[in-house]
Amino acid sequence: MDFSVILKNKASFIQQFKTYDPDILIPELNVAIEYKFIRKGNIIEDYIDQVKTDANNYKGDNRYENFVAVLCIEDSASATEDNIRESWTAKNFPDNWDLVVAFL
């Protein structure tokens, strides 16, 4: 199966005052991906909150039913994957959202 990748601004997650744009879209899989690069010294929780805001607003485009948040973390000493997943779970993300954590 061949897959295409669509860059930003091609989905229709339009709310009353703002349009929400995933970073990567894979239409053949009905998947939208939100990518966050977290530099050393930044607060990981702030980025999880940003993704949660996106999760609450990625509605209205039925072509995308599944979502993946990729957190790429520069400082592996700032948290463990378990800590990050605990925070993710506490924020009650919708069931159609998955988390990928990558440490550099």
- Is residue 17 in some structural domain? no
- Is residue 102 in some structural domain? yes
- Is residue 71 in some structural domain? yes
Please give the pLDDT value at position 78: 87
| Tokens read off for 34 | 């939100």
Q: What is the pTM of this model?
A: 0.86
- Is residue 21 in some structural domain? no
Domain holding 74, by residue range, is 67-104
- Is residue 46 in some structural domain? no
- Is residue 41 in some structural domain? no
Distance CA 25, CA 13 (A): 12
- Is residue 75 in some structural domain? yes
pLDDT block averages, 10 residues each, the chain of length 104: 59 74 90 96 97 92 94 93 97 97 96
Domains of the chain: total = 1
